[in-house]
Amino acid sequence: MKVSAHFAFWGGIVFAVACGAYGVYGLAMLDASMTDVERADGRGFAIFFLFMGAIGATMALISWLMLRGKIRLPEE
């Protein structure tokens, strides 16, 4: 299955924004009244979503470079 560079760009942007927002929200919701285990679990979950947002942003950047002609794929 081939995915166009435009679709990959916009999909990466949407994915990065959604995951990044959820990760920031998760970090903002950490509470001092939580136990240490709950806080560590919540922090790990939020950092995972920030990592996934970074992957989406990287995909969007690579797709943007493909659209600009900076990266060429081999012809099939």
Asked if pLDDT for residue 76 goes beyond 70, the answer is: no
Domain definitions of the chain by residue range: 5-68
When pLDDT is averaged across residues 33-54 and rounded to a whole number, the result is 94
When pLDDT is averaged across residues 34-54 and rounded to a whole number, the result is 94
Type of residue at 62: I
45 vs 19: CA distance, rounded Å: 11
17 vs 72: CA distance, rounded Å: 27
Q: CA separation (Å) from 11 to 32, 42, 59, 63?
A: 36, 26, 9, 10
21 vs 23: CA distance, rounded Å: 5
Asked if pLDDT for residue 1 goes beyond 70, the answer is: no
